[in-house]
Amino acid sequence: MQTEKYDLAIIGAGPAGMMAALRASECGARVVLLEKKHMPGIKLLLT
């Protein structure tokens, strides 16, 4: 298994998690976004 290094781990790919990941990556952070469902942003698709 390959090891990856990140500056920030965000748990949950809902609206807030996706926005936090986007903003952090725009600021230069290496971000991993963790979601238990197979598709992130489901709540965004339903609104």
C-beta atoms surrounding 3 within 10 Å: 4
pLDDT for 41 equals 63
CA neighbor of 40 nearest in space, from 4, 17, 13, 3: 13
> What is the value of pTM for the model shown?
0.75
pLDDT for 5 equals 96
Give dist(CA 18, CA 41) in Å, integer: 7
pLDDT per residue as tens digits for the range 1-47 = 899 999 999 999 888 999 999 999 999 999 999 998 777 666 666 65
pLDDT for 47 equals 57
**Domain residues of the chain, as ranges?**
8-46
pLDDT for 25 equals 98
